[in-house]
């Protein structure tokens, strides 16, 4: 009992001294500690978050198939990096900075990251059936009161298909 109380006091003093050595970097240490805790506690959020991101960026087929393997890899990396950042949070190691090792810094930030979503296909243009006249090519003359300043639609002309010789 007597040995554990001095050891506890020395460890508290050592940890507080490490956390308060440089006030300019105190925010970096705390951010690294928070990222480590978040990575360890919420690393499983990487799976649905990566699947959502891949489905939005690549389409649902690629997002579900290839995105699943990427999600499992991100989950494992997030957990390992969470432990690493938690353990090394008092030290600016390995590159003298406290920057995140994985982007985005927190697993839940992946839900809102969309790079370039898959474009939606334009509506197809359906040609008129043979034998019908398109509305723009009708022979009626409009009255001056019904004329508008809207641009005229291009006229579509159709020619009957040649009949095969027998």
Residue 104 inside a domain? The answer is yes
Least reliable range by pLDDT among 21-25, 102-106, 110-114: 21-25
Residue 53 inside a domain? The answer is yes
104 cis-preceded (ω within 30 degrees of 0): yes
Residue 117 inside a domain? The answer is no
- Rounded to an integer, the average pLDDT of 92-96 is 74
Least reliable range by pLDDT among 3-7, 33-37, 140-144, 157-161: 140-144
Q: What is the pLDDT at residue 67?
A: 93
**Cα separation, 88 vs 86, whole angstroms:** 6
The total domain count for the chain is 1
**Cα separation, 44 vs 30, whole angstroms:** 22
Residue 161 inside a domain? The answer is no
**φ, ψ at 119 (rounded to 5°):** -70, 150
Cβ atoms of residues 32 and 92 within 8 Å: no
Structural domain for 73, as ranges: 27-90+98-109
Contacts of 43 (CB under 8 A, 6+ apart): 75, 78, 79, 82, 107
Q: Is the pLDDT of residue 65 over 50?
A: yes
At 86, the pLDDT band (50, 70, 90 cuts) reads: very high
Residue 165 inside a domain? The answer is no
Q: What is the pLDDT at residue 71?
A: 94
- Rounded to an integer, the average pLDDT of 147-165 is 63
Decide: pTM greater than 0.85: no
Residue 5 inside a domain? The answer is no
Residue 64 inside a domain? The answer is yes
């Amino acid at each position: 009992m007597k040995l554990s109380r001095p050891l506890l006091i020395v460890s508290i003093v050592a940890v507080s001294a490490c956390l308060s050595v440089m006030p300019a970097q105190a925010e970096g240490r705390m951010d690294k500690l928070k990222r480590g805790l978040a990575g360890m506690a919420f690393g499983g959020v990487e799976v649905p978050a990566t699947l959502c991101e891949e489905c939005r960026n690549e389409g649902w087929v690629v997002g579900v198939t290839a995105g699943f393997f990427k999600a499992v890899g991100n989950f494992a990396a997030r957990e390992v990096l969470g432990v690493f950042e938690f353990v090394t949070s008092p030290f600016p190691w390995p590159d003298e900075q406290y920057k995140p090792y994985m982007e985005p810094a927190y697993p839940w930030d992946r839900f809102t990251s969309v790079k370039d979503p898959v474009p939606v296909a334009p509506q197809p243009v359906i040609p008129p059936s043979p034998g019908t006249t398109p509305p723009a090519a009708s022979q009626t003359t409009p009255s001056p009161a019904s004329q508008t300043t809207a641009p005229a639609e291009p006229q579509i002309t159709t020619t009957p298909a040649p009949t095969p010789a027998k």
